[in-house]
Amino acid sequence: MRPETCGLACAAALGPWSGTFAWKEQSKRFAVPINAREAICRVGLLGATGKLDIDGLRVRVTKRAKEEKTKADKTKEEK
């Protein structure tokens, strides 16, 4: 991939959480630009201190809803 074509096309976050609590399932669905060739998934405390336990992290591909477009997709259509 050419470096000049790389860049952040979309970002999504799950949280924030604070304090101590029992295990609970969390999920997030987000649209990825149609022309995306790779993805980077980051997990962290975002500057906080403490401990984060994660069990069973999954990334799945699901069918895109027709009306679901990312900002990058919309920008490309405008050009």
pLDDT per residue as tens digits for the range 33-44: 888 888 888 888
| 57 within a domain of the structure (yes/no) | yes
Q: Is residue 53 part of a domain?
A: yes
Outline where 1-79 has alpha helix (H): 71-78
> Is the residue at 74 inside a domain?
yes
Residue 2: pLDDT above 80? no
The pLDDT value recorded for residue 14 is 86
Per-residue pLDDT tens digits for 30-74: 888 888 888 888 888 888 888 888 898 888 888 877 666 666 666
The domain of 32 spans 1-11+26-79
The number of domains in the chain is 1
**CA–CA gap between residue 22 and residue 41 (Å, rounded):** 24
Q: What does the alpha-carbon distance between residue 75 and residue 35 come to, in Å, rounded to a whole number?
A: 12
Collect contacts of 71-79 with beta carbons under 8 A, ≥24 apart.
71/9, 71/10, 72/9, 72/10, 72/33, 73/31, 73/33, 73/34, 76/33, 76/35
Instruction: Pick 30 or 79 by higher pLDDT.
Output: 30
